[in-house]
Amino acid sequence: MKQYAVIYEKGQTNWGAIVPDLPGCVSIGDSFEEVQENVKEAIALYLEVLEERGEKIPEPLTKVGLVDIFA
């Protein structure tokens, strides 16, 4: 099992998701929960297409962290 980092961003009317280690793999949803499900499907489809083409599956390299700032 591989775990890919996903960046979620709240827009004015929906949520977006970007997968940095899979260029072009993005998704949107009306809610945070919906975009989480949609991006799982997008990743699965992205990897399936790579496999069908005989291309190498990228290793997940991006790490995500949070930084506490006290202002």
What percent of the chain has a predicted confidence (pLDDT) above 70?
A: 100
Place of tokens 């945070």: 32
pLDDT tens-digit map of 31-59:
999 999 999 999 999 999 999 999 999 99
Domains annotated on the chain, with CATH: 1-71 (3.30.160.250)
16 burial type by CB count under 10 A (0-12 exposed, 13-18 middle, 19+ buried): middle
Q: pTM, whole model, 2 decimals?
A: 0.90
